[in-house]
Amino acid sequence: MTAREALQTQLERGIATLGTVLPEGAVARLLDYRELLERWNSAYNLTAVRNADEQVARHLLDSLAIVPFVEGTTLADLGTGPGLPGIPLAIAEPAREVLMVDSNGKKVRFLREAIRSLKLTNGRALQSRVEDVEGTFDCITARAFASLADMLGWGGHLLAPGGVWLAMKGKHPAEELDGVPEGFTVEGIHVLTVPGVEGERHLVVIRRA
């Protein structure tokens, strides 16, 4: 078994454990994305996760774990870094438009190359601070780049009325809940069990009134 075949087996088992159904060809594209990330990482330092097995678990499967909670036809991934969870989510649902936002120029250059080489026609990359982004989106994802209050303070204007904000957190953010601003309601906090990922993972689902 080649190294890629072993990673494919790990990824497919993880997807089955999560109960996620992906379109045809998605697994190959996810593995292509991981390889591209690994190639660029030596020069651009895009992720601290260097081990291939860990990248499958902590990047790909961790991103796919929130698929059941994603809604609507437009999504913005704020503070996306090298495209997490944005690129896996764009691969998982080709009909959904995904905008990936980061202020780091190196990461956005990588994103544009990933979108091009993976032929992600539903993906776009934008170099910007969150508070300067324009438009509204049915769904917003963010991987714990700030407290809930700060996230919504900087980017809450981007969430369409009735839209859902998915904040990916480690530990249960009990102490942050009081800071959720008016006009937003915490609908639920879900424990995520991600195959191959140790430690706590929580998803905070916030609805805009």
pLDDT in tens, 129-152: 999 999 999 999 999 778 999 999
Are residues 28 and 75 in contact, defined by beta-carbon separation less than 8 angstroms? no
Question: Is 136 buried (19+), middle (13-18) or exposed (0-12) by CB count in 10 A?
Answer: middle
pLDDT at residue 145, as a whole number: 75
Check pLDDT > 90 for residue 45.
no
Whether residue 68 is preceded by a cis peptide bond, meaning omega within 30 degrees of 0, is: no
Please give the residue that has the higher pLDDT: either 21 or 46: 21
Q: What pLDDT, on the 0 to 100 scale, is given for residue 86?
A: 98
Instruction: Give the model's pLDDT for residue 43.
Output: 85
pLDDT confidence tier of residue 102, bands split at 50, 70 and 90? very high
Over residues 42-68, the mean pLDDT reads 94
DSSP secondary-structure letter at 128?
-
* Beta-strand pair 159-169/202-208: antiparallel
Residue 116 has pLDDT above 80, yes or no: yes
Per-chain mean pLDDT for the chain: 96
**Which pLDDT score is estimated for 16?**
98
pLDDT at residue number 23? 98
Q: What is the pLDDT of residue 144?
A: 74
